[in-house]
Structure 1
């Protein structure tokens, strides 16, 4: 009975982890009410207009878009940019928004996205303000951000597949399948950890801009922080890790 109890516990842990991962995966696949608040990272530029005025002594009129125009068309900034594993969306203060096309392991490059939305008359000042920040934050390093987030998202996808495989193999009451389930859960947990760590590193480095001040002492107005999806992945990692031991015990004690 010990083996069956272990499998029951491992199955529950794996099932809960998969449910959490499903929510992490569907974040930002659209701008609907179910998924618009689920994201790996958010870049809040709602206060950047004030920061721009403080840095340049120029009006920020026309800096923001109010019509949800296509992203990257230089029609104006949106207040919130949110990044998921496969997509990025931008939102107005009223909650309306628009997303770009979905891509496997979406590479997040916040500064590039912001610049591509900024009307051309504001772009030079934006680039100059960001370049003037000392020490130079990785926020302006598009290659670093793209590489790390793409790699992290790919790792999370592979880890999620392995976690699901562990649950499936654990259903069959055969010792060799329990061994396969243990291997899948162990590898899945490792990949989830690496993927979450890569995203965490990006956010930790990029959020240096949160404390940047412009020349009048006001905040630059660009705030980077982690979203719910990142925490879901970390919790799923813990659950998948915990499920590994019961699969191993079941493999050693089950008699079939």
Structure 2
């Protein structure tokens, strides 16, 4: 009954592998010294067929099962049918970038793979791709893809109204908490803005973003404490119990002694998110 409801894209017991997948498996044997397992080849063939009729495919398997090679084989076998080069983006954890470059060069003939860390790296890689005739893989770590400006709370303390207010509409920001199993609204506390979350990202009244970009030189009502998050200068004493590391306690003690002192935000560089840069700069090109 299950087979009747879910027809597989590829049945290895009844259908042969495509020439593209077999040829790429032979290339892996020549470069890496081994052939892919039958189950890996079957997954690559099914994924190749999926890409013929859809814009995406999902390959789900355990760690160490060869997802990198299977996915790259399926992608290349699909583009071999089109007889053209292509520039691909690979997004993976930072500790996997080197492995992806190695496995792509083992699995894909006449291809170049490189780790991209900055917009300049991406520009150089694309320039080489545009001039040459090779398929190119840009390998990005998730961290470098999303990292951009450090953000701090934009909410302001209003002494007259005794609450944190939205910088756009001026309304007092409220937060939810559970009281005897019932959701209740109350004025936001300094701890509410310790880190950026879905709950404190936007003003409920006007929809304005309650977080803004910051740099190391900028000074505001909010100070970033290592291993803790943001603390409001007026209410720094409330963070005493939350400081667990020596570095955090030292920073907080300095802030308590001099609430108006200059506190540099370490790591707050002028940086544009790599993923946003690629999306805007290369829209329609890759």
Give me the TM-score of the superposition, normalised by structure 2: 0.23
Greater relative CO, 1 or 2 (CA 8 Å, sep 6+)? 1
Instruction: Please state which structure has a larger fraction of its residues in helix.
Output: 1
Considering only CA atoms, is the larger Rg found in Structure 1 or Structure 2?
2
Instruction: Please state which structure has a larger fraction of its residues in strand.
Output: 2
Give me the TM-score of the superposition, normalised by structure 1: 0.25
